[in-house]
């Protein structure tokens, strides 16, 4: 993708005004389309000659919020129904939210994920049951519920179990499977349930989904564990540690003096005036206060949380904006 961000922005602009694309999304149950544009960078394209002409566009961002993939769903009667660009399907739709959530619902496709996100449920989408992204390792330490479609040939269930098996060996917490019940023996998926609910706030859908999720079953391992490829990609957690220098940032708050290998200053979190106990360790990018009864410590994120009463996410944003 050349200059992907400006492209994504032009697709977003188009969706603000393209009636046909907006009508299509309404048929899929979404009333507040501007929310999809603003929160998830959903867009559309109607420039003839553009690869995505006639498609709704769903960009996928990595953990550092770089666009890495784009998938399109046609809103006219075009073939193919979906189009993708990007190196390979290494990410989930809404992958960049993984970092912030402990509990995630895994569904198939962007529209299913957006249906859940629309009512505030943390969700990520795979692009096809056979396309578990290589970066599923990012789901380590999460509680996952796989929510799959019901269809006649059990493809949904088999796909869900296959994915659960793969996650099972990675995830140290829990993998559950929940199933969307069929409707009059017909196939039913998350977005179909969503669009069937005509209430403004999607309360019927919300009730149904919560009931389905409550009935999720802990996954029992069915096949042999896959070998997990050792990955070299940096995790998000490592990134912020590498990208920001704790000494430089804390110096904006505390005047630090060198004392041998250590940097010391008066603690901003308790009262002290004689000798400084607040210590910053450059090599491990951490701090600790040795003052009696104090004992605050941690990373630069912990420092900002103490200083401003931020959430973890807010502290990261603060770092991004200011340093």
Minimum CB separation from Zn ion for residue 252, in Å?
18
Question: Residue 294, class by beta-carbon neighbours within 10 Å (0-12 exposed, 13-18 middle, 19+ buried)?
Answer: middle
Residue from 241, 270, 281, 302 binding Zn ion (CB under 5 A): 270
- Check residue 289 for interaction with Zn ion (CB under 5 A): yes
Tell me whether residue 292 or residue 321 sits nearer to Zn ion (CB atom): 292
Minimum CB separation from Zn ion for residue 307, in Å?
12
| Selected range binding Zn ion among 110-118, 171-179, 239-247, 287-295, rule: CB under 5 A | 287-295
Tell me which DSSP letter residue 168 carries.
H
| Selected range binding Zn ion among 97-105, 140-148, 260-268, 279-287, rule: CB under 5 A | 260-268
Q: Using N-to-C axis directions, what is the helix angle for 312-322 and 300-308, rounded to 10°?
A: 100
SS3 138: helix
- Check residue 306 for interaction with Zn ion (CB under 5 A): no
Residue from 44, 164, 175, 267 binding Zn ion (CB under 5 A): 267
Instruction: Report how far residue 280's alpha carbon sits from residue 206's, in angstroms, rounded to the nearest whole number.
Output: 48
Minimum CB separation from Zn ion for residue 295, in Å?
7
- Check residue 291 for interaction with Zn ion (CB under 5 A): yes
- Burial of 170-206, coded b for 16+ CB within 10 Å and e otherwise, reads bbeeebbbbbbeeeeeeebbbbbbbbebeeeebeebb
- Check residue 302 for interaction with Zn ion (CB under 5 A): no
Question: Going edge to edge, which strands form the sheet with 286-289?
Answer: 257-259, 262-265, 278-281, 286-289, 297-298
User: In sequence order, which ranges of the chain are alpha helices (DSSP H)?
Assistant: 4-17, 19-27, 33-40, 110-118, 155-168, 190-196, 203-214, 236-243, 246-250, 300-308, 312-322
| Selected range binding Zn ion among 22-30, 44-52, 254-262, 264-272, rule: CB under 5 A | 264-272
Minimum CB separation from Zn ion for residue 308, in Å?
17
- Check residue 276 for interaction with Zn ion (CB under 5 A): no
Tell me whether residue 137 or residue 294 sits nearer to Zn ion (CB atom): 294
Tell me whether residue 128 or residue 295 sits nearer to Zn ion (CB atom): 295
- Helix (H) or strand (E) run with residue 108 in it: strand 103-108
Q: In terms of residues, how long is the chain?
A: 323
Instruction: Report how far residue 43's alpha carbon sits from residue 22's, in angstroms, rounded to the nearest whole number.
Output: 10
| Selected range binding Zn ion among 58-66, 153-161, 211-219, 282-290, rule: CB under 5 A | 282-290
Minimum CB separation from Zn ion for residue 143, in Å?
35
Tell me whether residue 163 or residue 289 sits nearer to Zn ion (CB atom): 289
Minimum CB separation from Zn ion for residue 275, in Å?
12
| Selected range binding Zn ion among 27-35, 43-51, 113-121, 289-297, rule: CB under 5 A | 289-297
Could you list the residues that contact Zn ion (CB under 5 A)?
Answer: 267, 269-270, 289, 291, 294
């Amino acid at each position: 993708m050349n200059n992907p961000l400006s492209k994504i922005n032009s697709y977003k602009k188009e969706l603000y005004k393209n009636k046909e694309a907006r009508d299509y999304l309404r048929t899929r149950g979404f009333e507040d389309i501007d929310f999809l544009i603003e929160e998830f960078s959903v867009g559309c394209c109607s420039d003839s000659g553009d690869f995505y002409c006639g498609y709704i566009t769903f960009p996928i961002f990595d953990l550092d919020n770089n666009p890495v993939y784009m998938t399109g769903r046609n809103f006219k009667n075009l073939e193919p129904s979906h189009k993708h660009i990007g190196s390979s399907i290494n990410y989930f739709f809404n992958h960049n939210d993984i970092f912030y959530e402990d509990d995630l619902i895994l569904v198939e496709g962007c529209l299913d994920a957006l249906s859940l996100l629309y009512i505030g449920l943390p969700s990520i989408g795979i692009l096809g049951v056979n396309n578990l992204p290589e970066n599923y390792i990012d789901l380590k330490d999460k509680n996952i519920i796989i929510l799959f479609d019901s269809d006649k040939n059990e493809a949904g269930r088999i796909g869900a179990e296959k994915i659960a098996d793969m996650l099972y060996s990675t995830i140290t917490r829990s993998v559950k499977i929940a199933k969307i019940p069929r409707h009059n023996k017909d196939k039913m998926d998350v977005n179909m349930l969503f669009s069937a609910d005509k209430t403004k706030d999607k309360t019927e859908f919300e009730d149904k989904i919560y009931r389905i999720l409550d009935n999720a079953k802990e996954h029992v391992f069915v096949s042999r564990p896959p070998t997990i490829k050792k990955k070299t990609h940096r995790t998000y957690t490592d990134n912020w540690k590498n990208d920001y220098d704790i000494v430089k940032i804390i110096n904006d708050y505390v005047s630090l003096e060198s004392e041998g290998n250590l940097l010391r200053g008066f603690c901003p979190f308790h009262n002290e005036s004689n000798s400084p106990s607040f210590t910053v360790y450059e090599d491990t990018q951490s701090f600790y206060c040795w003052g009696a009864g104090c004992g605050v410590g941690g990373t630069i994120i912990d420092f900002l949380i103490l200083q401003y009463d931020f959430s973890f996410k807010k502290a990261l944003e603060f770092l991004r904006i200011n340093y």
